[in-house]
Amino acid sequence: MEDEIARSTTHADLEKSFLRESSALRAVLQKLIDGSKQVEAKYLHLQNSSSEIQHLQKEISRCLQFSAGDEDIDLIPLDEFYACAPENVSRPEVTKNNKHEQRLARLTWEIAQRKA
């Protein structure tokens, strides 16, 4: 009978131990699952960012290769442009420091000269 009581006590202790350990295991597994979800979310974000970067690089490349077709037009020399063009077209205060605005002003003057 004492043997039965001892076995019973040992069995109860083993059950408690098993429940405690399985509960701890569930907690560890849940942390693992949560961590895995975070890694997956960050990996997905990384993939999306990489795709966006590739798309933007293609767009930049396309824009850099763009040709408006005005590169081949022979324009009058700069000093002649500033000497001949009216100030409302040449706008030296803007165009001398901005190559793009300068090009636009020279093209505007060139088309006006050709139409005249």
> What is the predicted pLDDT for the residue at 107?
92
Mean pLDDT for 2-24 is 84
Amino acid type, 55: H
The percent of residues above 70 in pLDDT, for the chain, comes to 99
pLDDT at 33 exceeding the cut of 90: yes
Each residue's pLDDT tens digit, 42-97: 999 999 999 999 999 999 999 999 988 777 788 889 999 999 999 999 999 999 99
CA distance 22 to 15: 10
Greatest alpha-carbon pair distance for the chain in Å reads: 124
CA distance 19 to 96: 83
The helix (H) or strand (E) run that includes residue 1 is none
With beta carbons less than 8 A apart as the criterion, state whether 73 and 107 touch: yes
The tokens for 94 are: 């803007």
> What is the predicted pLDDT for the residue at 116?
79
pLDDT at 2 exceeding the cut of 80: no
CA distance 95 to 89: 10
> What is the predicted pLDDT for the residue at 108?
92
With beta carbons less than 8 A apart as the criterion, state whether 83 and 76 touch: no
